């Protein structure tokens, strides 16, 4: 409806005449207020992105509440907008296809390397590996495996938690939306080690309330146990790997 409103009012035409400047001001105000209300409603799904939009709209905390979304016309008439980064840039189709081709080539190369004959492991390494492997899970069918949705996600925010020394609070973008994931890796990784990185997640894991329901974790990241006494390693994907790419 906002797009239709822009087409109907043609603000670029209103800007050409001093006589229509008052009408232009009203049109721009209506559009800014519409953006504010939509951003309030989107906060549970895109918290970090919504904060960027609020910053560009120049609104204070009182205009970010649920109640404020029901009051059209709450923004000050003299509100000042702030130009910032392009929050939703247009997708470069050719670039995205090239990155997908590169990802496919990398996966094929990794598969070939994994299938290459390996040297016989040393006795000590074999013994340590057996201890680390431990018990096996029950065998599952291929159909069962296909029910697990594995995707690449971009870590957009990460912070330590006051409530737990073990957990990190990650905000990741899965190609469609931002989601919260709580992960017990705080002992081995600092937030700055993860922000901006591409990681693998289980995308269709049922949401899990944690910390007495204060948080809801919406997925699980890939992390490997690196030794029997503790230790953790994360497989990072190249920066040009698209967020949301399916992992097979």
Q: What's the predicted TM-score (pTM) here?
A: 0.47
What is the C-alpha separation between 89 and 92, in angstroms, rounded? 9
Residue 119, pLDDT score: 57
Q: pLDDT over 70 for what percent of the chain? A: 92
- Buried b / exposed e over 156-180, threshold 16 CB at 10 Å, is bbbeebeeeeebbbbbbbbeeebbb
Give residue-wise pLDDT tens across range 2-56: 889 898 999 899 999 999 999 999 999 999 999 999 999 999 999 999 999 999 9
Q: What is the CATH number of domain 93-111+139-237?
A: 2.40.50.140
CB 151 within 8 Å of CB 175: yes
How many other CB atoms are there within 10 angstroms of residue 116's CB atom? 7
Q: What is the CATH number of domain 2-69?
A: 1.10.730.10
> In this model, does residue 87 exceed pLDDT 90?
no
> In this model, does residue 121 exceed pLDDT 60?
no
Residue 117 pLDDT grade (very low, low, confident, very high; cuts 50, 70, 90): low
> In this model, does residue 226 exceed pLDDT 90?
no
- Domain borders along the chain are 2-69, 93-111+139-237
Which residues, at least 6 apart from 64, have a Cβ–Cβ distance to it below 8 Å?
A: 39, 40, 43, 54
> In this model, does residue 122 exceed pLDDT 60?
no
């Amino acid at each position: 409806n906002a797009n239709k409103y822009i087409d109907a009012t043609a603000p670029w035409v209103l800007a050409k005449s001093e006589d229509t400047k008052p009408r232009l001001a009203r049109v721009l105000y209506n559009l800014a207020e519409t953006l504010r209300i939509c951003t309030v409603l989107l906060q549970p799904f895109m918290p970090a992105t919504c904060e960027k939009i609020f910053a560009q709209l120049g609104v204070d905390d009182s205009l970010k509440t649920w109640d404020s979304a029901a009051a059209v016309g709450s923004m000050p008439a003299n509100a000042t907008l702030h130009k910032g980064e392009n929050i939703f840039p247009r997708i470069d189709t050719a670039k995205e296809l090239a990155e997908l081709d590169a990802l496919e080539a990398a996966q094929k190369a990794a598969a070939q390397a994994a299938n290459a004959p390996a040297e016989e492991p040393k006795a000590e390494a074999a013994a340590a590996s057996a201890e680390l492997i431990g018990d096996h899970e029950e065998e599952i069918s291929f159909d069962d495996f296909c029910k697990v949705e594995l995707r690449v996600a971009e870590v957009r925010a990460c912070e330590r938690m006051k409530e737990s020394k073990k957990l990190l609070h990650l905000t990741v973008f899965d190609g469609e939306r931002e989601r919260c994931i709580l992960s017990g890796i705080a002992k081995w990784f600092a937030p700055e080690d993860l922000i901006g990185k591409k990681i693998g997640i289980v995308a269709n894991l049922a949401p899990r309330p944690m910390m007495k329901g204060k948080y809801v974790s919406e997925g699980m990241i890939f992390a490997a146990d690196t030794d029997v006494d503790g230790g953790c390693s994360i497989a990072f994907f190249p920066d040009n790997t698209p967020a949301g790419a399916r992992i097979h």
